[in-house]
Structure 1
Amino acid sequence: MTLSTLALLRGRTLAREGGKLLVRPAPSPEEARGLAPLKRPLLALLEEGGTIQGDDLLGSLHLLAALLAAKEGIPPMTWATFYYQGRPEPERVLVPGPNLLPSLLWRARNLPEPRRVHLAATDGGLILDLEAPLEAFLRVEGSGLEVYAWPEERMREYLQAAALGREPRPVVLELGGRAFRTLSWPEPIFTPLYGPQVELAEA
């Protein structure tokens, strides 16, 4: 799943009725295939009879963090860190697994929009880091799963550093409107001065 997948929610109303997810207007067959990975996590966010606008979901880092956490698997315990404009220090709380989604949904309803949300499982199984504007997406597989959605400039800086200092990992990257899968850090293809070209397969 990438930012392109999330973009399929734009302009749509999502509802839970009879334990089923209803999407209006109805997606095309191709769009429905793209949305399929989001069905279970969307149902986890919605109460029976509840609705949410896709645009509202995409505009809330609290809600997006809840959606992605539900998709990737809720850890038993999570350190949740929230960065709010105008606050000198981030807010960091330890959240048990059953409370993670309710906590994020409550924050979406009652607190200002954060500029960044960082979730880290205490067992190292999941890191989820969202920072607005969401311009680039990176999913890294290893002993744990890492999911990043960041401004493009920050992503490029991270990829440059990772290519120099981290072991190769299977990654999915969306940057500059293109999505790739690769078994190594894909930084050189975007900044050739840092090394040889890396062969990447479109996701």
Structure 2
Amino acid sequence: MSEKESNGNVRCQWLTKDPIYITYHDEEWGKPEYDNLRLFEILCLEGQQAGLSWLTVLKKRENYRKVFYNFNPYKISKLTHDDVKIILTNTGIIRHKSKIEAIINNAKCYIKMENNSENFSDFIWSFVNNKPKVNYWHNIKEIPNDTETSLALSIALKKRGFKFVGSTICYAFMQACGLVNDHVIDCVCRRKA
């Protein structure tokens, strides 16, 4: 079961006491997101997390927004190899060349989808039949790292050329964007998601 806080609130067990993390958990995580560009941003940021904690990425999110034009795919797609070299000197983000290049690559893939009349939000939400899947977990240990649905999303994204979109990353993305509600049943945010 989740631990009760001094104010009586119960939150998901993966949460730390970091105020940034608590605000993210309470105000963003698990809430359905339909905006194309917000979905694109979250997918890119989830890819940055690979091998790291989400809190690390979250603390650098504003820097990512500055470097990557608020995740405008049209501006990102114009970044060059020389731009990547400059970005790699920025201590405000995770300086991993393949991950940075993945954001640029994924922006181009996003644009290609749009040029093929494929709406990014509609595409993403189609994997859950346009309705959040509500899970009823009692304990964090019950929550999977990936599912058949996240694997299907991963395969479909890779088919379109996206990178850093493995099944586990896709499941974290689905949780973050509210495609699945994985707040444990006694979490204070459960009813808000």
What TM bracket, shorter-length normalisation? under 0.3
Q: Which has the higher helix share?
A: 2
TM-score, structure 2 length as denominator? 0.27
TM-score, structure 1 length as denominator? 0.26
